[in-house]
Structure 1
Amino acid sequence: MNLEAVADELYALRPSAFTATRDARAREARRAGDRDLATRISALRRPTLAAWAANLLVREHDEETARFLALGEELRRAYQDLDGGRLRELARTQRELIRALARSARDSAAASGQSLGEAARREVEQTLQAVLADPDAAEQWSAGHLATSLTPPTDFSFAGLPAAAPAGRPAKPSRKRPAKEDSAKERPAKKRPARVADLDRARDRRRQRQEEADEARGAAEQAAGEAAEEARRAEEERVAADDALARAKERSTAADRRLTGARDALRDAEREQQAAADAEREARTRAQDASRAARRSADRATRATREADRRRSGPRTR
């Protein structure tokens, strides 16, 4: 298991299935002893509906994705070179491709059982515009792991640069341009058109904002990972405490059973002792009665013997 494979699996799922599967994969990594991977998996963010739909395009429409990425490279090159004719030509292709890809995203989402509303579809189109304008955005999208929609630079417009030649006036014939490196040498930075400089500044500002957002997101993800780890430890402690409580209850129940048995045995012994005591008293009473009866009988026998002796001797004479 590695982070890339897990991310590929998670971001291919519908957003509703993302969190449960992510947590399951984090537990698997933790059980395998890879706590760092578990923390990084736990930090993966659930995608918005629009981001998920944009990811679907990368996964299910390879040819269209490759063509769109190539279009972005051409547009950025034409924009940098201020090639108005090429920009206008590519802008038409851009609009057609964005509409077509947005429809494909909607259809792929529907095929997966998820409806894509108008707001989400607009976010998909916005992400595609960002992909055309910014190579960093293109790289993020092509990975298929977007968690949120991308935003194009506010100062960037393919259709407006450079302006079309006025009607009736022929455009200046284009001359063959040297290689890109030579062209850059021939045009010192101070002579670059203001709109291109504005674009660079806007791109720098956007990159700075993106870096700040990435840093903040990284800190938040780290905090979330630490919180998830703390929650996991608390859960493990709770499970261990529950197990200990269950064992204690079992021992207590067994002790109660033994105590109940001992009490029953004690009661039986007490009843037997009482019965023996009663039998002893009864036997003693019978022995005493028999002894008294024997003494009375002996007394009667003695008296009878004396009377018999007296009668045998007869009356005495003087």
Structure 2
Amino acid sequence: MPRLNSFNGSGSSCSVGRVDFEEAAGTLYASSAADFIATRNELAKQLKADGDQLGSTRLKALRKPTVAAWLANLVARELPDELDDLLALGDEFRQATADLDGDRLRELTPKRHKILDQLATSAAKLADREGQKVSADVAQKLRETLDAALVDPAAGEAVREGRLDSALRHVGFGVVDETGAPSNVTPLTEERRRRAEERRRARSADVKTAKKDEKPEESAAAKAKREKAEREQEEREAAEKAEARQELDDAVAAAEEAEGTVAELDTQLTEARDALVAAQEAVHRIGEELDEARKAARAAQKESREARKRYNRL
């Protein structure tokens, strides 16, 4: 594998210089499912050779995606606009739910099914292009993953990032993976969190502009009421943002602690393997010495018997 790994649309790679963990992880999840393990090992070696031992250890800990997760990642890379439409629809659903707007929810529901159907159909074509068969089970798990992305903002960001290792499913109280275990779908980097906030602010600005255009004239009382509501909304968003930031900081701290544990266990495993090799060599050496000792003992016994016979003949 070349030093690398920036894949173009055809799946080929081009050689560049040093890579960091984020670049390596992006390259890894853009590789074919069949090449995932080999690509991960080569990129981990490259990071280690570049002096990034922690990045190498983190990369080696990344799991191979299931077929459904691989397909969701492919959708994120190949159909970003369609995926954005899905996530924007999710924002509309949450707003309508918060407003208790039943009419709006009934209007959005057919759109939800339509866009899910379109993405599922497009995903099947992408998989066929990549030579990957999609079973009914995989198709269902992909649809559940996309629906979880629509329902849950964190799941949406995780799907958009294109680095899932398991399909997702929203079960009413949260998002779970294919095993039914709670799934950690928190965005992993400050940069991705910033981009997500910018997208949400842009959509919010568009909505506010549209509402302003619809109501060019506004009484002083209505304006005061609206501004008060906006301030309260901003305060709620600020509080939610602070809470989300704290959760992110806690998640990052936990991840760093886990990475340290992985690195320590990796070192222990290496030492244990070295000790095992040394022990096996010692066993082999002692076995050879034992064979030689047995041969010497048999020769001595034979010589003793011969000497006894000679003595008896005297």
Give, as a single letter, the amino acid of the residue that structure 1 aligns with 2:77: R
Alignment of 1:1-318 (within 5 A): 1-154=19-172, 182=229, 223-232=261-270
Closer, same or farther: CA 226–149 of 1 in aligned 2, 3 Å: farther
Q: Deviations over 1:218-262 (max 9, x none)?
A: 8776655544444456678899x8xxxxxxxxxxxxxxxxxxxxx
Deviation at 1:78, TM superposition (A): 0.9
Q: CA RMSD in A?
A: 4.1
Is the CA contact 1:79–1:87 (under 8 Å) kept in the aligned structure 2?
yes
Q: CA separation of 1:141/1:215 partners in 2, compared to 1, >3 Å: closer, same or farther?
A: farther
**d(CA) in 1 for partners of 2:252 and 2:51?**
28
Contact 1:72 1:133 in 2 (8 A): yes
5+ residue gaps, structure 2: 1-18, 175-214, 216-221, 234-246, 279-314
Cα deviation for residue 15 of structure 1 reads: 2.3
How far off is 1:61 after superposition?
0.7
- Structure 1 residues 219, 146: closer, same or farther in 2, change over 3 A? farther
Displacement after TM superposition at 1:134 (Å): 1.0
2:146 aligned counterpart, secondary structure: helix
Instruction: Note closer, same or farther for the CA distance 1:5–1:118 as it changes in structure 2 (3 Å cut).
Output: same
Cα deviations by residue, 1:107-145 (Å, 9 ceiling, x for unpaired): 212211111111111111111111111111111111111
Q: Which has the higher contact order (CA 8 A, sep 6+)?
A: 1
**In 2: Cα distance, 1:125 partner to 1:9 partner:** 25
Q: Taking structure 1 as reference, are residues 184 and 123 closer, same or farther at Cα in structure 2, changes over 3 Å only?
A: farther
| Amino acid in the other structure paired with 1:12 | A
The TM-score, its normalising length taken from structure 2, stands at: 0.55
Q: Which string of whole-angstrom CA distances, capped at 9 and with x for unpartnered residues, describes residues 283-310 of structure 1? A: xxxxxxxxxxxxxxxxxxxxxxxxxxxx
4+ long deviations beyond 3 Å: 176-181, 183-186, 211-239
Q: Deviations over 1:11-65 (max 9, x none)?
A: 1122221111111111111122221111111121211111111111110012201
Q: Number of paired residues?
A: 207
Matched residues in 2 for 1:4 and 1:81: separation? 39
CA pair 228-100 structure 1, distance change in 2 beyond 3 A: farther
Asked whether the equivalents of residues 76 and 132 of structure 1 are also in contact (C-alpha less than 8 Å), the reply is: no
In our comparison, the structure showing a higher alpha carbon Rg is 1
2: CA distance, partners of 1:125 / 1:141: 12
In the alignment, the residues of structure 1 paired with residue 226 and residue 65 of structure 2 have an alpha-carbon distance, to the nearest angstrom, of 42
What TM-score do you get using the length of structure 1 for normalisation?
0.54
Task: Return closer, same or farther for 1:8/1:123 CA change in 2, 3 Å cut-off.
Answer: same
Q: Percent identity?
A: 36
Cα distance in 1 for residues equivalent to 2:262 and 2:166: 17
Structure 1, unpaired ranges of 5+: 157-175, 187-207, 242-318
